[in-house]
Homo-oligomer: A and B are copies of this chain.
Amino acid sequence: MKKGERRKQELLQIAYRMFLSKGYENTSVDEIIEEAGIAKGTYYYYFPSKEQTLEEVIDMMLDKEEEYARRILESDLPISQKLVGIVASFRPEAEEMTIKDALHEAANIVMHDKIKHKLMDRLIPLLAKVGRQGVDEGVFACSDIEERVKMIVILSNEVFDSGDYSEADVRVFIDTIERIMYAQPGSMAFIADLVKR
């Protein structure tokens, strides 16, 4: 990795952290460069615009997550656990999420939304593969796999994103997943342990 490359990665890391904790719109270029200890010009040497920085930050995140999801895909976990694991890999901010307080949450929608769509596009194919494996193995009994896993991603996203879900929410979520995939009732019960907090 060349000298310039490394610095760019550093900058991406810094921007990533700041966008996450304060929100993209509330993070000014001035703040980023101060944090990074570089000059304005240097920032714009590496990124043509703040917008583009966001784009690259997101791609960087997604690369990591996709990588993680891929490892799950290639593991020898049971199909159901693969499915759920991949869906779950898709909540990276989860840890950093705690940094954000209510005010900031609103500020993050823009970034959030961008991530949601980009990730969807990357994750669906992987999930579909697992889905089809499941059908082959007789774990799932349905067609339209791609569309079904999409439903699952959507639900998982929205139900767990806000953080205020009840036990009943989880119970229904699990039941729904099973029924969407035409899986054995109870086969997804293990999810309850994952989301317990």
Tell me the A residues contacting B by CB distance below 8 Å: 106, 109-110, 113, 144, 146-148, 150-151, 154-155, 157-159, 166, 168-169, 171-173, 176, 179-180
Contacts and interface: CB of A to CB of B under 8 A. Distances in A.
A39 to B, nearest CB: 13
A48 B109 CA distance: 24
B158 A172 contact: no
Q: Report the copy number of this chain in the oligomer.
A: 4
Nearest to A150: B169
Contacts of A159: 151, 154
Contact of A172 (B113, B144, B168, B173): B144
20 contacts: A106-B113, A109-B109, A109-B110, A109-B113, A144-B168, A144-B171, A144-B172, A146-B168, A147-B172, A150-B169, A151-B159, A151-B176, A154-B155, A154-B158, A155-B155, A157-B158, A158-B158, A176-B176, A176-B180, A179-B180
A148 B151 CA distance: 14
A60 B148 CA distance: 35
Given A106-B110, A180-B176, A180-B179, A171 B147 contact: yes
B155 A172 contact: no
Contacts of A157: 158
A166 B106 CA distance: 31
A168 B155 contact: no
Contacts of A106: 110, 113
A151 B179 contact: no
Nearest to A180: B176
Given A106-B113, A147-B171, 18 more contacts: A109-B109, A109-B110, A144-B168, A144-B171, A144-B172, A146-B168, A147-B168, A147-B169, A147-B173, A148-B172, A148-B176, A151-B155, A151-B173, A154-B154, A154-B158, A155-B155, A157-B158, A176-B176
